[in-house]
Structures are given as C-alpha cells and as structure tokens.
Amino acid sequence: MGLDITVLGLDWGELERTPVGERSAVLEEATWPGDEDDPWPAEPEPGWTVPASPRVPWSGRYTFGCTSGSYKPHFWAGRGWEDVRGFADPVLREALDGFLGGLFWHDDPLTPPMDGLVPSPPPGVLVACPPAAVEALAAHWARAEPLLEGLRAPYARHAADPGGWIEDFDRFDALVREWAVVVAGARRRGWGVLGLPF
C-alpha cells in the first residue's frame, strides 16, 4: 500500500482556537467524518466537500479527480517539473516554482512548517499553507496559468513518461490545474490548506 494524500481547507483561526490537545482529532474528523450508521460512505465526488464534516463546519476536503487519493501522481508530477523546468520560459519557471514549491514539488524532502498548530503532526505532513501562503500561491498561479500551454512541447521532449503516473503534459496540466482549484477555493474562504499523508 502506498502513500495517500488528503487535502483539507481549514479556517486557520478556528483551528488555532481549538484546544491544542483536540486538534489532531479535529483533523481526523475532517479527513474521515465519522458516522455510526454508515461507517463506509460512498466515494466522494471530485472537488470540494464543504464542510468536510458536520462536526467541523469550518473545513473542507478536496478530492482529486485524477489521482484516486494516491500521492504518487503528485510526486511524479514534481519529478516531471524537475525534468522540464530548465526548458521552460523563465517567467513560467519562476511562477511555477513558486506555485508547485508551495504544494508538492520540493528541492529536498521536507516537512512543511506547522508552527505549533498540531502538537504532534503526522510524520511527513505533505502540504502546510496558512492563508497568507495560499494568497501567495494564487499570485504565482495567476502568472503561470496563461503561459502553461507553452510547456507542452518541452514536456513531451524532456519529461514524458509513457505508462507512468504522469505520462504526458495533459496529465501534468490536469493535476496542476486541480491544485489551482484547491488554492482558489481556500483563498475564496480565507482558509489555509493542509495535505495529510493518508
């Protein structure tokens, strides 16, 4: 079984006001909303589910339509960007570095800063973007999006991986655009974003 990712949008202020000892339980509830009558609910539709749980009304959960919950496509999209970024238009490269670097592409493996928000964050928290970081990501995306199609030919030459998780530019483009939906939805609500490894 491989690594998964669950992406949550959260009202950072509400999370900070939640007693420290209860925050992990709140995140678990938003990730897997409990229902004694229906312990195995149907697969959620792709996109935002708001609220993520009736017990956490200040949260949302984003379900990617192109990944089935696995983290592998995000990892391989990051590798694809590493392979093609040197051939990208410099303006696009700078903007996508900023956008993807805040989400799933990192020069080095790292744990995003949690700033004490969760007392014992799960190992390998995948994404941690407070509302200010979400604003910055939206600005990076606004610069990158009009230029993204220009990456099609370089991606085909330098990053295509037929049969892989992100086999071509269209798969890369689809995943990056879903992250743009995550960022836009969180920004609209003034939320931050967490990506948890389950």
Hunting for tokens 């220009």 — which residue is that? Answer: 150
Higher pLDDT, 134 or 45: 134
> Residue 37: is its pLDDT beyond 90?
no
Average pLDDT over residues 23-49: 78
pTM above 0.85, yes or no: yes
> Residue 161: is its pLDDT beyond 80?
yes
**Amino acid 116: pLDDT:** 63
pLDDT band at 109 (very low <50, low <70, confident <90, very high): very low
Task: Retrieve residue 155's tokens.
Answer: 């991606």
Q: What DSSP line would sit under 52-71, residue for residue?
A: SBTTBTTEEEEE-TTTTTBS
The sign one gets for the Cα dihedral 189, 113, 64, 154 is positive
Phi, psi of 151 (to 5 degrees): -85, -10
DSSP state of 151: G
Neighbours of 132 (CB within 10 A): 10
- In degrees, rounded to 5, the angle at the alpha carbon of residue 176 between the alpha carbons of residues 78 and 66 is 95
